[in-house]
Amino acid sequence: RLEYFFSDPEFTDALRSFFEENQEKFQFVDVGMEQPISNYDLYLKYTKRIEDLLEDFLAKNQVTHEDIINICMEAEKLEGNASSYCLDYIIASTEYEAFIQV
């Protein structure tokens, strides 16, 4: 179920909306340069949006945090399956460097 969450329009539309709402606030600076604190503030809002969407999904599907930890632990062992892709996506979507390159 988790793998479908990341491609669900509710999730993708929310992220698209976030970027559309905040694109004028983002200060484009080369990745290797010092980033403005305002970009980091946007990043924190972005990760909060992802966290809220994920929390809603977990609640709707009666999945506990412990379940997610177990899924992630299994995904680490079984690289290349849908769960490992979800784990990779979660990690990538919350890395600051990946965010500033979007």
CA distance 38 to 60: 33
The predicted model gives 43-72 an average pLDDT of 88
Q: Which of 6-15, 41-50, 91-100 has the lowest mean pLDDT?
A: 91-100
Helices (H), 1-102: 2-5, 9-22, 37-60, 65-77, 82-93, 96-101
pLDDT digits (tens, 9 = 90+) for 33-53: 898 999 999 999 999 999 999
Percent of the chain residues topping a pLDDT of 70: 83
- Tokens describing residue 90: 């979660």
